[in-house]
Amino acid sequence: TLQPCDCSNRLEAKADRAGRWRKIHNTVSRDPVGRIIASDIGPSSPFLTVIDRIMNQGVDSCKVLLPDGRNIDICTPAGADIFLATKEGEFEFFSSNIGTASNIRTKKKLSAGDKSNLTQIYFTVDSIAKYGTPAVFRAHVPRSEIQVWVDHVMAELKKKTLDARWISTGTLEEHDAFILIPCICMFMHPVPVALAFEKGFFRVLADFVLARKGSGSGSNLPSADVCDTISLLVSNAIISCLYSLDNPWTSEKTFKKLEACGMLEQFMRCSTVPQEYDTNSGRYGPLGYAPGLYKTYDELLTCIAFLKKKFKKGEPCGDCLSAILNGTDGHKPKRPSVMKKLKTIASYGELLQPSGTKGDDLRICRHCNKMEPSQEFQMALKQCSRCGSAFYCSKKCQIADWKSHKKYCKPVTKEDAKMHGASQQSLLNFANKHYVDIMVKMVEACDETGVKKGDMLVALNFMPDANGVVPALESPPQFTIAPVRGFIEGSRPSEPDWFHKNTDKNVYEQNIGNVIGSIKDQHGRMTPSHVLCLVRNSGGISVYKIQLMEPNDGTMMFTDEAVDAFRSAINDDDFNPLSRIFVDGDIKRMKRQLGMSYGIGMPDEEMLDRTRQILNAMGGNFSLSKSR
- pLDDT tens per residue across span 392-438: 999 999 999 898 888 878 887 877 778 888 888 899 999 999 999 99
- 66-70, 163-167, 433-437, 597-601: least confident range: 597-601
CB 30 within 8 A of CB 400: no
Q: Are residues 429 and 456 both part of a single domain?
A: yes
Cβ atoms 311, 286 nearer than 8 A:
no
Please check the confidence at residue 626 and state whether its pLDDT lies above 80. no
Q: For helices 291-300 and 251-260, give the axis angle rounded to 10 degrees.
A: 100
Please tell me which of 369-373, 455-459, 510-514, 616-620 the model is most confident about, judged by mean pLDDT.
Answer: 455-459
* Strand-strand pairing, 277-278 and 283-284: antiparallel
pLDDT digits (tens, 9 = 90+) for 221-271: 999 889 999 999 999 999 999 987 677 899 999 999 999 999 999 999 999
**Residue 472: what residue type?**
A
Are 435 and 372 members of one domain? yes
Residues 492-498: what's their mean pLDDT?
90
Domain boundary among 517, 546, 575: 546
What are the residues whose beta carbons fall under 8 Å from the beta carbon of 329, sequence distance 6 or more?
Answer: 220, 269, 320, 323
Arithmetic mean of pLDDT, 579-594 = 88
Contact status, residue 548 vs residue 539, Cβ threshold 8 Å: no
Q: Is the pLDDT of residue 302 over 50?
A: yes
CB contact at 8 A, 400 and 375: no
For residues 563 and 443, is the Cβ–Cβ distance under 8 A?
yes
pLDDT for residue 17 is more than 80: no
| Encoded amino acid at 334, one letter | K
- Please indicate whether residue 244 or residue 30 has the higher confidence score (pLDDT): 244
Q: Answer yes or no: do 45 and 87 share one domain.
A: yes
The answer to whether position 199 is within a domain reads: yes
| Nearest-10 crossing angle of helices 143-161, 174-186 | 140
Nearest to 407 by CA among 515, 509, 507, 500: 515
8 A C-beta contact, residue 312 and residue 259 = no
Order the strands of the 49-56 sheet from edge to edge.
34-36, 49-56, 59-65, 71-73
Cβ neighbours for 88, distance < 8 A, ≥ 6 positions apart: 140
Most confident of 70-74, 194-198, 396-400, 555-559: 194-198
Which stretches within 112-189 are classed as H helix? 112-131, 134-140, 143-161, 164-169, 174-186
Residue 204 lies in a domain: yes
What is the pLDDT of the chain when averaged over all its residues? 83
Q: What is the pLDDT of residue 96?
A: 86
Residues 93 and 213 in one domain: no
Q: Is 411 within a domain?
A: yes
Whether 500 and 433 map to the same domain: the answer is yes
pLDDT at 361: 66
**Structural domain contains residue 487:** yes
Give Cα 407 distance to the centre of its chain: 33
- According to the model, what pLDDT value does residue 1 have? 53
Model confidence over 83-110: pLDDT tens digits?
A: 998 765 578 888 888 888 999 999 989 9
Task: Tell me whether residue 302 is in a domain.
Answer: no
Predicted confidence (pLDDT) at residue 216 exceeds the cutoff of 60: no
At residue 627, the pLDDT reads 45
DSSP state of 40: B
State the pLDDT confidence band at 566, using cuts at 50, 70 and 90.
very high
> What value does the mean pLDDT take over residues 526-536?
93
Q: Is 217 helix (H, G, I), strand (E, B) or coil?
A: coil
Question: Do 540 and 572 belong together in one domain?
Answer: no
**Position 208 in a domain:** yes
The model's confidence at residue 278, banded by pLDDT at 50, 70 and 90, is very low
Are residues 282 and 254 part of one domain?
Answer: yes
The pLDDT of residue 35 = 28
Question: Binning pLDDT at 50, 70 and 90, where does residue 493 land?
Answer: very high
Residue 30 has pLDDT above 60, yes or no: no
Other Cβ atoms less than 10 A from the Cβ of 581: the count is 19
CA dist 269 and 262 (Å) reads 11
**Cα(409)–Cα(399) distance, rounded to whole angstroms?**
13
Distance CA 424, CA 3 (A): 9
Residues 453, 397 share a domain: yes
Task: Give the per-residue pLDDT at 232.
Answer: 92
288 pLDDT higher than 50: no
| Residue 367 in domain | yes
Please name every residue paired with 534 in a beta bridge, in sequence order, or none if there are none: 459, 543
**H or E segment at 34?**
strand 34-36
Query: Does residue 608 share a domain with residue 462?
Result: no
**How many folded domains does the chain comprise?**
4
Q: Position 365: which residue type?
A: C
Mean per-residue pLDDT, 567-588: 91
% of the chain exceeding 90 in pLDDT: 50
Is residue 467 domain-resident? yes
| 51 pLDDT above the threshold of 70 | no
pLDDT at 575 over 80: yes
Please provide residue 582's backbone torsions phi and psi, each rounded to the nearest 5 degrees. -110, 160
Going from the C-alpha of 440 to that of each of 444, 546, 570, 580, the distances in angstroms are 6, 17, 8, 18
206 in the same domain as 108 = no
Reported pTM: 0.81
Find the range with the poorest average confidence among 61-65, 123-127, 128-132, 587-591: 61-65
- 304, 426 contact by CB (below 8 A): yes
| pLDDT tier at 9, thresholds 50, 70, 90 | very low
Mark whether 422 and 538 lie in a shared domain: yes
Banded pLDDT at 506 (limits 50, 70, 90): confident
Residues 454 and 439: their CA atoms lie apart, in Å, by 13
Candidate from 5-14, 224-233, 252-261, 444-453 with smallest mean pLDDT = 5-14
Of 546, 575, 591, which marks where a domain is finished?
Answer: 546
Per-residue pLDDT, 27: 54
- 324/117 Cα distance (integer angstroms): 39
Higher pLDDT, residue 271 or 280 = 271
How much is the pLDDT for 405?
86
pLDDT at 453: 97
Could you give phi then psi for residue 578, rounded to 5 degrees? -65, -35
**Distance set, CA 130 to CA 57, 184, 190, 572 (Å):** 17, 8, 13, 65
Which DSSP string do the residues of 511-580 spell out, in sequence order?
A: HHHHHHHHHHHHHTT--TT-EEEEEEETTEEEEEEE--B-TTT--BSSSHHHHHHHHHHHHH---HHHHT
Q: What is the pLDDT of residues 134-168, one digit of tens each?
A: 999 999 999 999 999 999 999 999 999 999 999 99
Same domain, 347 and 370: no
Cα separation, 220 vs 232, whole angstroms: 19
At 610 the pLDDT is 63
Q: Residue 431's Cα: distance from chain center in Å?
A: 22
Cβ(417)–Cβ(388) under 8 Å? Answer: yes
Supply the pLDDT for residue 504: 83
Range of 583's domain?
560-617
Contact between residue 583 and residue 575 where contact means Cβ atoms under 8 Å apart? no
Mean pLDDT, to the nearest integer, of 482-495? 93
